[in-house]
Amino acid sequence: MDNILNNYKATRNIWRSILYSLPMLLITLVLMSGGDLNFKGHAELYAFTITFIFLNTCFFLMHYKGKTDLYRSVVFIVFAIFLSFSFITNMFEYRGAMTFNQADIIECNVPFCHLVIPMMIVPAALTESIIFPGSILNGFANISTMLVLWGVATIVMGRGFCSWGCFYGGWDDGFSRLIKKPVIKRIDTIWRWMPFAVLFVVVISASLTLVPTYCDWICPFKAVTEFEAVTSAESAIKAVIFFSLFAMLVIILPLLTKKRTQCTSLCPLGALNSLSNKISAFTVKIDTKRCTMCMKCVKTCKLSALTPDDVKAGRASLLCSKCGQCIDTCRQGAIQFSIRGFEAGKLIDLSRNLFIFISFLFMAIFASGSIQNGLSKILTLIIN
């Protein structure tokens, strides 16, 4: 049964989709299991099996149905929820609380997160050291491993990291999908440049104080991972800021606007990642000959990365996170993933297949550990 989908000239041929999904199936099997299929118990076996089937089903459907954002967002949101669940339960097992204290800082036991990266670049260059109390190579979420993961993903996907790799983005992405129509419809596009201002301020302040100021004072995702134990007025103020910003930017505003407001208006790493869109091998292009200027893509973009001017110019802006929502929305099939150097309308299928294979593989392997860990804990509780 041949069927031309909205934007992706896909043939709904189950055998083609199976053939396309086969390499993903084999690679995820090997990388998720580490080549060892001996599990410690039933809970681990079931967690592995469920995660493996879930990820590969989403990937298969992405090809078969020709919808990118729908299946990406399912994995992305599940990743965010399980990362937080897995992280917090690990912290309770390890420390007895989801807070860290002075001893954890002095012993450099704080797990590293990619949001620190923009603040550590200038001090690393000038002092030849990292301004974060974590482990360089050993232990959970060590600095070296996280830098490699972020670095490669950002070079390959550009700001695609924000929609395919960031384990926080799924939170506001998820809340932005809960209400069908936005309550707040008009948002000034000036706000989309706000992360660059935040980036500038946190880079300067972190360089002067040698403290990752965004993590120390602002990061809303402290509310769903870990934060400093409340032992003083200062730490109490910080906790209030973390939870207030999480409530406002990750829950309330995404619900009201249907936008990823934390990512659009606050995240300094998002601003840094935007710059890498200039070198990424993949872009989002608009075929101006097919475009009817309906501007549905502009309305639907969760990161406000598209404006009418961008549509007229035939390409997404620097802020595009390649989530694929505009591509799924366009009824004319005018928007497409493209390999850098090719004009809109060229190599549509190849560009899409290659980009989603690369991006999904990164997300699947990165997410699988947290999903398996979280599921294993839940299943252990049920089985026992």
Partner 1 sequence: MMRYIKYTLGTIWAAIALILILILFPGLRTISEGLSKAPFMKIHPMYTGGEIIDSVKKSNRTIYIHRPVFNGLIKERMLGFVQIDWHGNIPNVINDTIDYNKDTIPDFIINIDTRNNITDLKKISAYVYDCGVSTQTSFGWVIRVNVVNIK
Which chain residues interact with partner 1 by CB under 8 A?
A: 27, 31, 101-103, 105-108, 122-134, 136-137, 142-145, 147-149, 152-153, 155-156, 207-208, 210-211, 280-282, 339-342, 351, 354, 357-358, 361-362, 365
What residues contact 240, with CB distance under 8 A and at least 6 apart? Answer: none
CB 280 within 8 A of CB 208: no
Min separation Cβ 298 and partner 1, Å: 26
Min separation Cβ 383 and partner 1, Å: 29
Tokens of 348: 């549509």
Min separation Cβ 75 and partner 1, Å: 16
Phi and psi at residue 346, to the nearest 5°: -100, 140
Min separation Cβ 146 and partner 1, Å: 9
SS3 338: strand
Min separation Cβ 209 and partner 1, Å: 9
In this complex, which beta carbon is closest to partner 1, that of residue 293 or of residue 350?
A: 350
In this complex, which beta carbon is closest to partner 1, that of residue 103 or of residue 183?
A: 103
How far apart, in Å, do the first and last CA atoms of the chain sit?
Answer: 47
Residues belonging to the chain: 384
Min separation Cβ 22 and partner 1, Å: 15
What residues contact 267, with CB distance under 8 A and at least 6 apart? Answer: 115, 162, 195, 198
Min separation Cβ 149 and partner 1, Å: 7
Min separation Cβ 219 and partner 1, Å: 18
Distances (CA, A) of 107 to 101, 135, 276: 10, 9, 34
**Kind and range of the H or E run holding 337:** strand 335-339
CB 311 within 8 A of CB 317: no
In this complex, which beta carbon is closest to partner 1, that of residue 118 or of residue 174?
A: 118
What residues contact 232, with CB distance under 8 A and at least 6 apart? Answer: none
In this complex, which beta carbon is closest to partner 1, that of residue 231 or of residue 292?
A: 231
Task: Give, to the nearest 10 degrees, the angle between helix 117-127 and helix 268-276.
Answer: 80
**Kind and range of the H or E run holding 144:** helix 143-157
In this complex, which beta carbon is closest to partner 1, that of residue 32 or of residue 249?
A: 32
In this complex, which beta carbon is closest to partner 1, that of residue 210 or of residue 293?
A: 210
Q: Using CA atoms in the order 289, 292, 293, 299, what is the torsion angle rounded to 10 degrees? A: -120
Min separation Cβ 134 and partner 1, Å: 7
Can you say whether residue 128 is alpha, beta or left, with left for phi > 0 and alpha for psi between -120 and 50 degrees?
left
Min separation Cβ 200 and partner 1, Å: 16
In this complex, which beta carbon is closest to partner 1, that of residue 134 or of residue 220?
A: 134
In this complex, which beta carbon is closest to partner 1, that of residue 45 or of residue 122?
A: 122
Q: How far apart are alpha carbons 116 and 107 in whole angstroms?
A: 18
Buried b vs exposed e over 273-282: b needs ≥16 C-beta within 10 Å?
Answer: bbebbeebbb
Q: How far apart are alpha carbons 114 and 9 in whole angstroms?
A: 36
Q: Give the bridge partners for 376, in sequence order.
A: none
